[in-house]
């Protein structure tokens, strides 16, 4: 059972949040997508998120991003299912980074 929820944020809100201490941006796209275009953050493909979620324990705020917001929403929901991440602030970039490419 989920004890809290994630919050959808816009690209400008992401830029503000990423300046806060103990915040990590996690780009859940595949490595080739990240290499082609990215706006920073850790590149951990969605398929690896569950196995690597322990890497996020030291952060207070987790922000999941992807191309159009679909995979990052799935990642945010997955973070909520991890007992060691349930006390974190969890965000998902609504609409994805496709806006930043324009």
Q: What is the pLDDT of residue 98?
A: 87
Supply the pLDDT for residue 81: 87
pLDDT at 2: 46
Q: Which residues contact 31 (CB under 8 A, 6 or more apart)?
A: 43, 45
pLDDT, position 38: 95
Q: Which residues contact 86 (CB under 8 A, 6 or more apart)?
A: 3, 4, 80
CA distance 51 to 68: 23
CATH of domain 7-101: 3.40.250.10
Backbone angles phi, psi at 73, to 5 degrees: -65, -40
**Between β-strands 7-9 and 89-93, what pairing exists: parallel, antiparallel or unpaired?**
parallel
Q: What is the pLDDT along the chain (102 residues), one digit of tens a residue?
A: 444 789 999 999 999 999 999 999 999 999 999 999 999 999 999 999 999 989 998 999 999 999 999 999 999 999 988 888 888 999 999 999 987 665
Q: Residue 60 carries which DSSP code? A: S
Domain spans in the chain, listed from the N-terminal domain onward: 7-101
């Amino acid at each position: 059972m989920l004890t809290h929820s994630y919050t959808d944020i816009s690209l400008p809100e992401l830029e503000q949040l990423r300046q806060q201490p103990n915040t990590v941006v996690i780009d859940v796209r595949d490595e080739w997508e990240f290499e082609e275009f990215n706006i920073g953050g850790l590149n951990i493909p969605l398929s690896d998120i569950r196995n690597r979620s322990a890497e996020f324990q030291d952060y207070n705020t987790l922000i999941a991003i992807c191309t159009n917001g679909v995979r990052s929403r799935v990642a945010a929901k997955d973070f909520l299912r991890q007992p060691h991440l349930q006390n974190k602030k969890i965000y998902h970039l609504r609409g994805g980074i496709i806006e930043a490419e324009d």
